[in-house]
Amino acid sequence: MVYLSIPQGLNLVKDRQCLQLWKAIYGPRQAPLAWYDRLKEWLVGTGFAVCIIDPCVFHKGGDCPVWLYIHVDDIAIFGTDTSYFKSEISREFAIKDIGPADLMLGVKVTHLPSGISLEQKHFTDSFLFSYGMQECRPVSTPLLPIENLSPSTKKEVIQLKELSVNYQSAIGRINYLSTATRPDLSHAVSSLSQFLENPGMRHWQSFLHVLQYVRGSPNLVYFTQETFTTVLPPIATLMGAMVRSQGIQ
């Protein structure tokens, strides 16, 4: 519930009464959830299914399948023919079609004849600059092959504190890069994230090593084909996942 102080013009006792907000308006933190619930209700009612892993992803099958990626009131639509969906949603909500996406949540989207590429060169350039690593020496691996990270000693913790750097923020930023367009960084991020509570100088040096790797591959892009299989039968796009439960993989 949201309560408001009584504005001027209302004949109420201000020190004894207040107003209760009954509708989600722009601004309060409850508004995004109220909007999501409203949009979800309509989408599910028209045949869309909510993704189990990500509740902001919706999918509808059929002859012309459509995928929706939602960020608050911005919706990215993917499908062979999206005109029908645009027509349907415009009857329910006031929408603005701004055409093909070129930048979403810091990810640059490039539409190619054979598919779509995603990259974050602008983000990596800014990222490197913020840590003074824009001219650093590039390396070929995110972590050293012989890297064996372990808990910090008291001396290493003190050394890092003297630098006045925010280790948690640094790992958070590179984790965003990893999950968005750079899965090649995922192992390094996972390793460095184990020491968020009590990081030391060695962990910071390993983080800088990751930036050296990023410096050597700033234009690396994430590409997906237009279709899951190519024209040639022997060639196909392979996708998979690994699940580990109770020590069993």
Query: Cα separation of 181 and 172, whole Å?
Result: 15
Of 56-60, 109-113, 210-214, 221-225, the poorest mean pLDDT is in: 221-225
Q: Residue 68: beta bridge partners?
A: 58, 77
Does 222 have pLDDT greater than 80?
no
Query: Cα separation of 19 and 37, whole Å?
Result: 24
Convert the pLDDT of each residue in 52-89 to its tens digit. Answer: 989 999 999 888 899 999 998 899 998 888 899 999 99
DSSP 8-state secondary structure symbol assigned to residue 248: B
Query: Cα separation of 77 and 96, whole Å?
Result: 13
Convert the pLDDT of each residue in 57-67 to its tens digit. Answer: 999 988 889 99
Domain residue limits, the chain = 28-99, 121-216
Q: What are the φ and ψ backbone dihedral angles of 86, each rounded to 5 degrees?
A: -60, -40
Q: 3-class SS at 110? A: strand
Report the range out of 113-127, 160-174, 227-241 with the highest average pLDDT.
160-174
- Give me the helix-helix angle, 186-193 and 201-216, nearest 10°: 170
pTM of the model: 0.69
